[in-house]
Amino acid sequence: MRRDIFQAIADPTRRAIIALIALQAMTPNAIAENFNTTRQAVSKHLRILTECELVKQEHQGREIYYSLEINKMKEIDKWLEQYRKIWETRFNQLDNLLAKIKKNKK
């Protein structure tokens, strides 16, 4: 089954894993040390993130290092941009309304 990036980031543990490996590539064991869960559970999350192409694997000797796939994160940002514009417009409208109310109280 092919998952999409939004299914991947819907889970808080996967978002935490993304935050961890955004700073530096890590092995599954190093990632698992940051969670109160089993190594197998972390591996499942990593598999989903890999399937969605949010993380990439790099073999270094016997170890596998996971790192963030920045281009996929840009897809998420691009999708959010449409909503960011709406939010900014509404915040600006709210700022204007609050300024008007404050002015009328004087």
Say how far residue 45 (Cα) sits from the centre of its chain.
13
The confidence band for 16, taking pLDDT boundaries of 50, 70 and 90, is: very high
Q: Dig out the tokens for 74 from the structure.
A: 């840009």
pLDDT tens for 64-86 read 999 999 888 888 888 899 899 89
Q: Residues 6 or more apart from 20 whose CB is under 8 A from it?
A: 26, 31, 34
Q: Which of 13, 14, 2 is nearest to 73 (CA)?
A: 14
What pLDDT shows up at residue 49?
95
What domains sit in the chain, N to C, each tagged with a CATH number?
5-105 (1.10.10.10)
Amino acid letter at 103? Answer: K
pTM: 0.77
**Angstrom distance (rounded) from CA 59 to CA 49:** 17
